[in-house]
Amino acid sequence: MFTVSVVIPVYNEEDVIEACLEHIAAQTRAPDECIVVDNNCTDRTIAVAESFADRLPIRIVTAPRQGVVWARDAGFDASSADIIGRIDADTRLDPNWCKALAEFMTARPDVAAVTGFDYLYDVPRQDRLENRQRRNAARFAEGREAFTLAGNNMAIRRTAWESVRSQVPNLPGTHEDIDLYFTLCEADAVVWVVPGMLAAVSPRRFRLSPWANREYRAAAVRTTKLHGRRRQAVFMVAQSPLLYTSLLIWWVRVKPFDPETRTWRPWRLFAREDKRKSPMTTDQD
């Protein structure tokens, strides 16, 4: 069976990296390598990661060029595994994630990259969201062709990465995961959804107001246009009213919710918004 690496780009993630690594350490099929990419952290993120050295095959890789895409590239390039997984520092993997990934990639040598199913944690009715996705994962066990890649829950064959690495545009104001997906498609690679790759992901995007999310959405349209898919980009723009209505509903549900006390208080809508560094590609050196 193929070897598996999990790559985690990090920038000041001391509040979430421990939970992320705990879930990796709890895998029923342990990863062969866990690469934490230090993208100029100034907090205790790397110290926390190094504390897992006796439980995980941890490697710390540095990426001095600021930006998640450059950290991702450094991690992918450093990996020696056959399959390179990629998650965010606040992703929490299901215990069978690595097992499902390795088994699928062994059974389907034609597939170049995969993405999984996910659900939100630290939100109201979290158990209901998780149970629904677990039912969906069981129902669609064989998966389907993917329409994108999600950087918080994906994997790629090392051979596929090496074949397209120089072709990924990585232009400013784009989403690196969507950019990689379209580059793979242009190379006639097969990209698949693997429901067994289940992960709980952060609701941080929904803690921002719809207005604050506008550039994030614009970057998705921009990335799509960049790859010559203008009809798809037009359709995405046409969907904007529905999207922003959905973002508004989620913002009202998630922003006032305190996951520690499991309480919802409307005045929390007016609290200062999280200024977490943008995941969009920049041209900063």
Segment 144-184, tens digit of pLDDT: 999 999 999 999 999 999 999 999 999 999 999 999 999 99
Q: Is residue 198 domain-shared with residue 258, that is, in the same domain?
A: no
Per the model's pLDDT, the better-predicted residue between 86 and 141 turns out to be 86
- Looking at the chain, the whole-number percentage of residues with pLDDT higher than 70 is 96
CATH of the domain at 14: 3.90.550.10
Label residue 270 by pLDDT band (50, 70, 90). Answer: confident
pLDDT at residue number 36: 98
Tens of pLDDT, residue by residue over 97-148, are: 999 999 999 999 999 999 999 999 999 999 999 999 999 999 998 999 999 9
With beta carbons less than 8 A apart as the criterion, state whether 155 and 197 touch. Answer: yes
Tell me, yes or no, whether 116 lies in a domain.
Answer: yes
Among candidate residues 202, 225, 251, the one where a domain is terminated: 202
The one-letter amino acid code at 3 reads: T
Instruction: Output the pLDDT for position 113.
Output: 98
The tally of CA atoms less than 13 A away on the side-chain side of residue 140 is 17
pLDDT surpassing 70 at residue 27: yes
Average model confidence (pLDDT) for the chain?
A: 94
Tell me the C-alpha to C-alpha distance, in Å, between residue 122 and each of 68, 81, 148, 152. Answer: 24, 32, 25, 16
Q: How far apart are CA 252 and CA 265, in angstroms?
A: 10
Judgement on whether residues 126 and 218 belong to the same structural domain of the protein: no
Mean pLDDT (whole number) for 67-89: 97
Phi first, then psi: give them for residue 209, nearest 5 degrees: -65, 160
Residue 39, domain extent: 4-202
pLDDT at residue 25, rounded to an integer = 98
Nearest to 279 by CA among 114, 75, 74, 72: 72
Final residue before a domain boundary, out of 177, 202, 227: 202
Does one domain contain both 125 and 21?
A: yes
Alpha carbon distances (Å) from 131 to 22, 94, 135, 153, 156: 21, 13, 6, 18, 27
Domain boundary among 181, 202, 223: 202
